[in-house]
């Protein structure tokens, strides 16, 4: 199965907001409201940020928010901070009853 499509990199200055997109198809992201976002710092395991499109785990900052329209999901990070610099991945369920991940987006905080 093909990976979901994410931009390779995005950047922003501290305090700004950025949005990372995740594009899929009607066979995966477009058909299931389970898109999930992860943050991964170098050498660390992925950390859950947003699940089921727009839900945040308990205790997670409300600076992270998710949305979905059609076959595209988005993660918005507001009030950028230096520690937000990391790789970000989206994930969805698919018609083939498998999980599919995005290729990852490297966020640089300028």
Least Å distance, CB 3 to other proteins, is: 7
Least Å distance, CB 46 to other proteins, is: 6
- Closer CB to other proteins, 16 or 99, in the complex: 99
Tokens of 44: 């660390």
Q: Which residues bind other proteins (CB under 8 A)?
A: 1, 3, 32, 34-36, 38, 45-48, 51-52, 57, 89, 91-93, 97-104
- Closer CB to other proteins, 5 or 76, in the complex: 5
CA distances from 39 to 18, 49, 83, 95 (A): 14, 7, 11, 25
């Amino acid at each position: 199965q093909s990976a979901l499509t994410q931009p390779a990199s995005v950047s922003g200055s501290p305090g700004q907001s950025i949005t990372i997109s995740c594009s899929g198809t009607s066979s995966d992201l477009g058909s299931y409201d389970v898109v999930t976002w992860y943050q991964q710092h170098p050498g660390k395991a992925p950390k859950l940020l947003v699940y089921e499109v727009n839900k945040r785990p308990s205790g997670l900052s409300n600076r992270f928010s998710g949305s979905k329209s059609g076959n595209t999901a988005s993660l918005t990070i507001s009030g950028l901070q230096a520690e937000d610099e990391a790789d970000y991945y989206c994930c969805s369920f698919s018609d083939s009853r498998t999980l599919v991940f995005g290729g990852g987006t490297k966020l640089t905080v300028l």
